[in-house]
Each structure stands twice: as structure tokens, then as C-alpha cells.
Structure 1
Amino acid sequence: MSKFPGLRLFVVSVIVSFGGSFHFGYQLVITNPSQSAFLAFLNSSFASNYGSTLDVTKAETIWSVIVAILFVGAIVGSLSLELVGEKLGRKRGMYLSFTITTIAVAASMVSFFINSFELYSVSRVLTGYSLGLSLGLIALYLNESSPKECRGFVSMMVGVMVQFGTVIGSILAMPSIFGTTNDWWHIYLVECIIVLFVLLALPFMPESPGYLMLCGDETAARKSILFFRCYKPDEVDAVLHEIKENLKQNAKALSVFQVWNQRQTRKGTIVGMAISLSMAFSGIAVINAYAVEILKESGLSLSAASIGNIILSAVSLLAIVMSSFTVDRYGRRPLILISNWAILLLNVTIVSLMYCFNKFHYSWIGYTLVAIISLFIIFFAIGPGPLCYFITAEMVGQSAKAAAQSWASFTQMSSRALVLAIYLPIANQIGQAFAYLSLFIAPTAIGLIFLYFNMPETKNKNHNEVLEAVTNLPSVSKILRPKSAAVEPHDFVASNDFSCAVEKF
């Protein structure tokens, strides 16, 4: 079997990712280089509606909440993933989420013309809801439609499109293009056109074979497999047999609460949530949302900081495209562990550079910071960045995929919302360096340790093989045990301290 998808599956993965993950990346950064324009809009709208102006501190506090409120909607969208994904299906669920995205983006444009920051805030919540829902649905759709030999490559398209969205958003939101007081609504016009194109293309794609088999429609599932994979009849039969065996072990779709009742699904869900949590608290949320401000605070001009932000987004896109070709070669576990270790070291370096600039004001520190953050983004893009969008679905059975992915998305969105809501107020009180230190060093270190002992390899594995990989994970007692000591099977299972600790949840 090829490690690369056929043309049809590749095109489908690009189109559906354009409908959801592209917009997620786009929304992450458009408020960054154009922040001055949005603050002017906020002040103008507040003065017009309430007859008073905001001082700088209040305006920045309100704005940080408006930025973070995107993820409040995304939290709700994540929690509704299991309901929508199982009741409507993956494809019809995407119809719903993309339609809501269109309505929300249109509301953002209308808020400009009626000068209402309240409507803009509502549009952010709606946008967040649609993105939280669509990210999970796309991950499920691609995971269930891809052969396991190239599942990682196809699923990485979600992450690739997130980063492509950050590049396009960073460019269009620059003050020299659309990031001005009079033109920022064009940013949303571009987004609206893209999502309408995806909605027009969606009718030509079938439902995922995994969901069709879950509904008992084997004929439609067979057609779906032939559409995505161009298999021979006997190969299609083998795929259907594997799906049936998986469904026998996981006969009924589990709700977001039922995944906690079974040890296997609970463990996979917790590990998926841990990956999302370590991703959100790696510092990437702040870099996406406030990179321009961070670079300005480190000595760069607004134009230089905006260009630096584009460079960071472009580096991220290049890195994640390259990682698409390595994820099915080197596996998920080594990419996560190596990248998280590098991110931890780079975060310490970022804090040190921020502190040195505050103390000595050397002009070269800002440019050095761009280089270090570029390295940070490279390691983020080959590890937790793209993998967090689909790794959870690989660690659980068919019946638990939607619910487990829902919890992983919920963790990511709630963590991002928390980080973005508290970062600016903390930075204003204790400075950028200490705010970054207090929020992102310890969580990255703890996440690295937890994942080392609990994350199995899922590359080219079906559900039963993933469960077997879990039993071979390292543990503290195994590491400390003398090599000559014999290990009985029951002792091995009992010795997996960290795994057992999680399984007692």
C-alpha cells in the first residue's frame, strides 16, 4: 500500500480543510497585525453607543476578552461534536458548520457598517462555534476515509491548512493591506468567499465509510471506499471486514460521558486531551494572537513586527508541509516527544530574550527573537500543532471517535480561551517575560513527562494494535528495575505506574 493518498482523496482533504481548519488559522491571526484598527473600531463603537471613551488599559482588557471569546464558542462547538457527528453524520455536519461560518463572517462585516462591537463579539462566538465543530468533523471524516498506510499524511492536511490560514491572514491583516480602520471588513469578505466555494464543492463528496458502516449501510460504504481509495473488490472486502470487526468490539456509538466508563476509551481520551492541553500551553496561542505586540515590545517597529509575523507564519507552513512527509515514516510518538522537548528549551530562551531586552534594550534582541520563535514554530509544526487534530481519533475505537475527539477539541479551545483572556492582563502587571514564564514553562514540562509514559504509537495501526502498544509503554518502575530482573506479564502491567494512575480516573 502507498504511503501517499490517491488524487481524489488528496483533493477532498484539501477542500474540506479549506472549509474548517483554514479558517481556524485565519481567525487566529487576523486580529494580530490589525489590532490597532480593531481597537479604534472598539473605541469608536463604545463612544457612539455609550457616550464615553475607553482608556488604553480598559480598551486592551475588553479587546483581549473579544479575542478570547472566539474560543468560548469553540468550546460549545467541540462539546456538540459528538451529537452532530453521530446524528447528522460527518458530511451533513460539515454542511451545518460551514453554513454557520458563512453567517458569522457576514455578521462581522455588518458590524463594521453599523459600528457595533457588540455584534462583532457575537460574530466571534458564532465563528468559534462553527470552527470548534468543523475541526472535529473534518478530522473524523478524513480519519475514517483514509487507508491506515497514509492516514497520517491525509490527516496532517488539517494542520497544514491551519498554518496556511495563518499565512494568508497575517498578510491580508497587515496595516498596508486590509488591516486599517476603514478596510478591515475586507478581511472577512475574503473568508466568506472561500467558505462559499467549499459549500458548493461539498455535494460531490460521499459520506465517510466508517460512519456509513456505523449506520449499517454497507452498500454506500463500499461505494465510499471505492471513491476515496480506488481499491480492487477484494481489497474493499478486507476494509469492510476490518471496520465490521472494530464495530463488533464497539457496537454502539458512545456519548461524551460514556467514554469515561470504559478503561480503553478513557485512557485514549485522556492522552488526547493531554496533547491538546500541552499544545495550548506551549505558548503558541499567544504567539498567534500577539506576535506583533511581542516583537514590538522587543524593539521592532510596527512594520518590522508585521513582516516578522508573516515570516513566522510562512516558516510554520513550510515546516508542517515537510512534516506531512515524515509523520507516516517516523511515527506520532517520537515527533510529539522530540518537538515538546525542543519547545521547552526554546520557551526558556524566549523568556531570557524578553527579560534581557527589558533590562538592557539591545536592538538586536528583537531580530534574535524572530529567529528563536521561528525555531519554536518549526518544532511546533512537526509535533503537537497538527497531530492534536487527529491523534485522539487514532487511539480509540470507531464508536468512541466522535466523543473522544470532542473532548480533545474542548480541551484545546478552553485552554486557548483561558490563555488569551489572561495573558495581556498578566503581561501588563508583571511584564511580557514573567507572564510568558509563568504560563508556558511548567505546563510544557509536565506535559512532556506525562506523554512519555502514556502516549502509544499509532502509526499504521488499527485499534487492537494501538491497545497492544499501550501495554509496551515505559514506566518508572521498569526504568528503575535492574535489567537482569525477570518481568512477568502480570508484573509488567502492574508496574505501569503512570498508566495505572490514569486508568483510576
Structure 2
Amino acid sequence: GLTGAFHYGLQVSIINSPAEYIQSFIRETWLKRYGSSPSAEMITLMWSFIVSIYSIGGLLGSSSAGYLSVRFGRKKAMLLANIPALLGAALMGLSRLCGSFEMIIAGRLFSGVCGGLAQNVHIMFAGECAPRNLRGLIAITASTSIAVGKFVGFALGLREVLGVEALWPVLLAANAVPVLVQFLTLPFFPDSPRYLLIDRKDKEGCI
């Protein structure tokens, strides 16, 4: 899932490279607002909150995965996960333009909701759609996607790519690309046979 395991790996790694730039942005924004520089402890607190808020969003997303996957189906639940992902990317990408480090915090929260929801539904969806003899192989796509996402995140964070001061908002918003790809392609995939048969009672649709 491009908004599930891959998204998780990308978000975990992509935040490391611009750490210095984001902390400088927090300092500059605070100075403009309040007329005084924030303490080192306050900057560390804000930075820690930016990093850790993704996990809180992931908890919220994971908690809703079971209900949404039954209520709307596995495929639609993954499509719904695109909404907070795109919203989060927009908030983070526009944060410097708007002069608000709070937008980064909110964006990370929404991205976490997407990651927690989509990662759980991705595993469910892939396992239920896979032939019995390939279920083990398909199941490991989640961990593989996390690894690939981390690699892509670290690669994008290189100074030769997006890891420079002028482009850190673009780096944070880069997760919008795989999200849009999934948003445009996933509707053409069939839904889970198990969902159609057991939850929807659609015997013809699951064949």
C-alpha cells in the first residue's frame, strides 16, 4: 500500500534530514510572533512534539481500521486514508509560507492517521485477495514496503535532492506523490473477496 506501509516508512525517515532547518524555522517564527527568542528547551519540546505526534495519529488511524474496513470495505478504507494524507502533505508543504510551525504538527498528525489506518487495511486487503499458495509471500509486502519507504525517504533527504533549507517544505510534502498515485489507480482494483462474501453477502461479486 502506497499510503500504508510505504507511507509509514517514508514518514519515519523523511523527518530526519530537515531537523536543523525546522528547528531554525520554529525559532524564527517564535521571534516574529513574540519578539523574543525561544529557549533551547522550548525548541526541543516543539521538535519532539513534531516527531512524536505521528505516532499519536497512527494510534487513532489503527483504532479506526477495523470499523472502516467493515463499514466501507478494504478498498474504500484505503481510499479514505488518502484524505488525511493529502491534508497533512498540504499543511506541511505550506507551513513556511504561512509562517506556522503548528501546521507541521497538524500535518504530521494527519499523516499518522493515514499511516495507521492504511497500514492495517493494506495487510488485511493483500492477505484476503492473495491466492492461498501466495499468502505468505504477499504478507511480507508490508515489511518490504516499509523498508522501501525508508530508503526513498532517506534518498529524498540528501542535500543533492531535497535536503536543503530552501526545499524542506517540499520534502515534507513529498508523500503526496505516492498518495495521489494510489488514489488514481486503486479504484480499478477489485475489493476483497472475503469482504464481499461475508460482510456484503455478495456471492456473485466475490467470484
Q: Structure 2-normalised TM-score?
A: 0.93
In the alignment, the residues of structure 1 paired with residue 109 and residue 42 of structure 2 have an alpha-carbon distance, to the nearest angstrom, of 21
Residues 161-214 of structure 1: CA deviation (Å, up to 9, x unaligned): 111111111121134432232211221443212211111101110110011111
Q: Is the 8 A contact 1:104 1:127 kept in 2?
A: yes
Counterpart mapping for 1:389-408 below 5 A: none
- Residue identity in the other structure for 2:94: V
Alignment partners' CA distance in 1, 2:159 and 2:28: 18
In structure 2, what residue type is equivalent to 1:197? V
Matched, 1:60 2:44: yes
Residue 153 of structure 2 is aligned to residue 169 of structure 1 = yes
Query: Which residue of 159, 166, 184 corresponds with 1:200?
Result: 184
8 Å Cα contact 1:37/1:179 also seen in 2: no
Look up the match of 1:218: 203
The superposition leaves residues 243-271 of structure 1 with CA deviations (integer Å, 9 ceiling, x where unpaired) of: xxxxxxxxxxxxxxxxxxxxxxxxxxxxx
Whole-Å Cα distance in 2 between the matches of residues 20 and 208 of structure 1?
Answer: 16
Question: What residue identity is the alignment partner of 1:83?
Answer: Y
User: What secondary structure is seen at the aligned counterpart in 2 of 1:105?
Assistant: helix
Other-structure match for 1:209 = 193
- Runs of 4+ in structure 1 over 3 Å off: none
Alignment of 1:352-391 (within 5 A): none
Corresponding residue number in structure 2 for 1:90: 74
Aligned pairs for 1:77-476 within 5 A: 77-214=61-198, 215-222=200-207
Per-residue CA shift, 1:422-453, capped at 9, x if unaligned?
Answer: xxxxxxxxxxxxxxxxxxxxxxxxxxxxxxxx
| Cα deviation 1:340-386 (Å, max 9, x = unaligned) | xxxxxxxxxxxxxxxxxxxxxxxxxxxxxxxxxxxxxxxxxxxxxxx
| Structure 1 position 69 matched with structure 2 position 76 | no
* 2: CA distance, partners of 1:41 / 1:155: 41
- Secondary structure of 1:149's counterpart equals helix
Distance 1:161 1:205 in 2: 19
Residues paired across the two proteins, number: 206
Secondary structure in 2 matching 1:19: coil
Tell me what 1:28 maps to.
12
> Is residue 17–residue 158 contact of structure 2 (8 Å, CA) maintained in 1?
yes
User: 1: distance between equivalents of 2:53 and 2:92?
Assistant: 14
- Structure-1 separation of matches of 2:13 and 2:183: 23
Whole-angstrom distance in 1 between the partners of 2:107 and 2:144: 25
Contact persistence 2:14–2:172 (CA under 8 A): no
Rounded to whole Å, the distance in 1 between the matches of 2:202 and 2:34 is 57
Larger Rg: 1
Give the aligned partner of residue 484 of structure 1: none
Contact in 1 for aligned 2:6/2:147 (Cα 8 Å): yes
Partner-residue secondary structure (3-state), 1:150: helix
After superposition, the C-alpha distances for 1:309-367 in whole angstroms (9 at most, x for unaligned) are xxxxxxxxxxxxxxxxxxxxxxxxxxxxxxxxxxxxxxxxxxxxxxxxxxxxxxxxxxx
Matches of 1:20 and 1:189, distance apart in 2: 16
Bigger RCO of structures 1 and 2 (CA < 8 A, at least 6 apart): 2
Identity of aligned residues (%): 27
Q: What SS does the corresponding residue of 2:2 show, helix, strand or coil? A: helix
Distance 1:71 1:49 in 2: 29
Distance 2:96 2:176 in 1: 15
Report if the CA contact (8 A) 2:49-2:105 is conserved: no
- Contact 1:44 1:115 (8 Å CA) reproduced: no
- 2:181 alignment partner AA: F
Q: Does 1:51 align with 2:35?
A: yes
- Residues 75, 132 of structure 1: 8 Å contact kept: yes
> What is the CA–CA distance in structure 2 between the aligned matches of 1:110 and 1:61, rounded to whole Å?
22
Distance in 1 between residues matched to 2:70 and 2:170, nearest whole Å: 36
**1: CA distance, partners of 2:46 / 2:176:** 26
CA contact (8 A) 1:27 1:169 kept: yes
AA aligned opposite 2:21: A
In 1: Cα distance, 2:122 partner to 2:140 partner: 11
**Matched position secondary structure for 1:190:** coil
Distance in structure 2 (CA, Å) of the matches to 1:30 and 1:211: 34
Q: Aligned equivalents of 1:50 and 1:163: distance in 2?
A: 42
Equivalent position amino acid for 2:158 in 1: M
* Structure 2 stretches lacking a partner, 5+ long: none
Distance 1:110 1:162, change over 3 A: same
2:90 maps to a residue whose letter is A
Mapped contact 2:85–2:110 kept (Cα < 8 A) = yes
TM-score by length of 1: 0.40
